[in-house]
C-alpha cells in the first residue's frame, strides 16, 4: 500500500512538473523562432498553395452561408462564428467539453439569463512515433515496440438551449510494427465518441448552480465505439453516464466529468466477447488561452482515469488505467489569411499507463509516453 501511494504521488508530481516544463520550453521556442517558423512554412510552395485553397474555400463557404441568411459577411462575424476553444478528447476516451461561446460571438438576448449557443467543427491531424499497444513487442524492444501512428480526427461540439452534444471520430493508421491481420501492412482503427448532456442551469432558465468558479453542471450520457483490423480485432462498446462539472476562470475553463462506465469488447485471438464490470471514470478537460507578446497560444488537453473493470477473458485481473494528453498550441491562422484560432499548430504528449486495463508491470506495451504534433483547423 505504501509503495503504491509513493508511486502515484511521484507520478502526479512528475506529470505536473513535466507540464510546467513543457509550457515554458514550448513557449520559449515559439517566441524565439516565431518568424523562422512562419517563414519556413510560408516558403514551402505546396503549403502556400494548399492554405491559399483552404482560405478561398472558407471564404466561399462564408459567402454562401451569409447569402442564405440575407446579410453580408464581416470580419468580426465570420471570425467569431468560426472559433470555439473546446477540448475534447479524444484519443481513445471521452472528455468533458465547454459550453462557452467564442469571444465576440453574438447571441439573441431572450432574458436576463441567456447562455450562449454555438456549434464548432474541427479537423485535426495528429502524429506520433512512440505509441504503444499491449502485447506488441519485438526482440529489440521486449518491453513494448514503438509504433508510428497518424491520426485524422473530426470533432463536433455544440451548445443548444438545454444542453450540449459532442461527436469525435478518429481514424488511426499505424505502421507495420502494429500489423493488420493477415498481412504486413499497418493496422487501421476507427474510434468514435458520442455524448449528449442536459444543463441544469439551462433547463431551469436561471443560474441554479453558480458557486465560485463552478458555473454549471451537465447530466450527460453517451458511448465509445472502437474497431480495428488487427489480429486482436477489438470491438469496443462502452457506455458512460454521469455529471459534468463546468468551471470557468475568465476565458479559461476546466471541466470534470464523473461517470459510471460499462464496457463490452471482443478478443479476436480467442474469439470471445469480453463483458467487464461496471466501473468509474473521471475525465478532466481544460482549455487555457493566453498571449505572450504578439503570439496567441492555448494550453489544452484532457485526462482520463478508469477504475479496474474486473477480469478479462483470460482470467487476469484488470488494473486502473490513466491517460493524459496535454497540448500547447500556437495560432498560425494568418498564414492562411484567416481570423485567429482558425488554424493552430500543436505540440504535446500522450501518456497512458495500464492501457485498456492491462497490467503495465507484466504486459509489454501497456505503458506509453509519446510526443505528438498536431495541426488543427476550425471550420466556419
For 96-100, 149-153, 294-298, which range has the lowest pLDDT when averaged over its residues?
A: 96-100
CB 298 within 8 A of CB 344: yes
For the CA atoms of 351, 279, 266, 123, what is the dihedral angle to 10 degrees?
-50
Distance between CA 181 and CA 168 in Å, rounded?
26
Query: What are the pLDDT digits (tens) for 59-93?
Result: 454 555 455 445 444 433 333 333 333 333 333 34
For 61-70, 89-98, 131-140, 215-224, which range has the lowest pLDDT when averaged over its residues?
A: 89-98
Domain boundaries, the chain: 14-378
Q: What confidence tier does 112 reach under pLDDT thresholds 50, 70, 90? A: confident
What integer pLDDT is reported at residue 339 of this predicted model?
A: 83
Query: What are the pLDDT digits (tens) for 264-285?
Result: 999 998 999 999 999 999 999 9
CB 357 within 8 A of CB 322: no
Distance between CA 68 and CA 205 in Å, rounded?
31
Distance between CA 302 and CA 315 in Å, rounded?
31
Q: What confidence tier does 335 reach under pLDDT thresholds 50, 70, 90? A: confident
pLDDT (mean) for 207-218: 95
Q: What is the mean pLDDT of the chain?
A: 80
pLDDT greater than 70 at residue 9: no
- 3-class DSSP state for residue 16? helix
CB 288 within 8 A of CB 27: no
pLDDT greater than 60 at residue 236: yes
As separate numbers, helices (DSSP H) first and strands (DSSP E) second, the chain gives: 5, 13
Query: What are the pLDDT digits (tens) for 138-183?
Result: 999 999 999 999 999 999 999 999 999 999 999 999 999 999 998 7
Half-sphere exposure of 102 (CA within 13 A, CB side): 24
Give the end-to-end CA distance of the chain in Å, rounded to a whole number.
Answer: 52
CATH of domain 14-378: 2.40.230.20
- Residue 47 vs residue 302, higher pLDDT: 302
Distance between CA 232 and CA 228 in Å, rounded?
8
Amino acid at each position: 500500500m505504501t509503495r503504491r501511494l509513493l508511486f502515484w504521488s511521484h507520478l502526479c508530481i512528475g506529470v505536473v512538473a513535466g507540464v510546467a516544463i513543457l509550457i515554458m520550453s514550448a513557449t520559449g521556442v515559439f517566441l524565439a523562432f516565431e518568424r523562422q517558423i512562419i517563414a519556413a512554412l510560408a516558403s514551402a510552395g505546396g503549403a502556400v498553395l494548399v492554405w491559399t485553397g483552404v482560405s478561398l474555400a472558407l471564404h466561399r463557404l462564408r459567402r454562401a452561408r451569409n447569402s442564405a441568411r440575407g446579410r453580408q459577411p464581416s470580419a468580426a462575424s465570420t471570425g467569431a462564428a468560426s472559433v470555439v476553444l473546446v477540448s475534447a478528447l479524444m484519443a481513445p476516451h471521452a472528455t468533458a467539453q465547454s459550453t462557452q461561446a467564442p469571444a465576440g460571438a453574438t447571441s439573441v438576448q431572450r432574458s436576463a439569463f441567456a447562455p450562449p449557443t454555438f456549434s464548432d467543427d474541427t479537423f485535426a491531424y495528429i502524429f506520433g512515433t512512440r505509441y504503444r499497444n499491449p502485447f506488441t513487442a519485438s526482440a529489440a524492444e521486449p518491453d513494448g515496440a514503438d509504433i508510428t501512428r497518424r491520426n485524422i480526427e473530426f470533432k463536433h461540439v455544440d451548445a443548444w438551449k438545454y444542453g450540449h452534444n459532442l461527436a469525435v471520430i478518429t481514424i488511426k493508421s499505424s505502421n507495420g510494427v502494429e500489423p493488420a491481420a493477415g498481412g504486413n501492412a499497418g493496422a487501421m482503427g476507427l474510434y468514435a465518441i458520442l455524448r449528449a448532456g442536459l444543463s441544469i442551469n439551462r433547463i431551469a432558465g436561471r443560474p441554479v448552480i453558480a458557486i465560485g468558479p463552478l458555473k454549471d453542471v451537465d447530466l450527460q450520457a453517451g458511448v465509445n465505439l472502437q474497431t480495428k483490423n488487427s489480429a486482436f480485432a477489438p470491438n469496443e462498446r462502452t457506455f458512460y453516464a454521469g455529471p459534468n462539472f463546468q468551471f470557468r476562470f475568465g476565458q479559461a475553463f476546466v471541466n470534470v466529468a464523473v461517470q459510471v462506465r460499462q464496457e463490452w469488447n471482443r478478443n479476436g485471438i480467442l474469439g470471445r466477447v469480453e463483458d467487464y464490470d461496471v466501473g468509474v471514470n473521471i475525465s478532466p478537460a481544460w482549455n487555457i488561452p493566453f498571449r505572450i507578446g504578439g503570439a496567441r497560444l492555448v494550453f489544452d488537453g484532457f485526462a482520463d482515469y478508469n477504475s479496474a473493470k474486473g477480469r478479462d477473458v483470460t482470467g487476469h485481473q484488470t488494473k486502473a488505467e490513466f491517460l493524459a494528453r496535454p497540448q500547447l498550441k500556437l495560432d498560425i491562422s494568418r498564414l492562411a489569411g484567416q481570423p485567429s484560432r482558425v488554424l493552430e499548430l500543436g505540440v504535446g504528449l500522450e501518456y497512458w499507463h495500464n492501457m485498456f486495463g492491462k497490467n503495465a508491470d507484466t504486459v509489454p506495451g501497456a505503458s506509453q509516453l509519446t510526443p505528438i504534433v498536431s495541426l488543427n483547423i476550425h471550420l466556419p
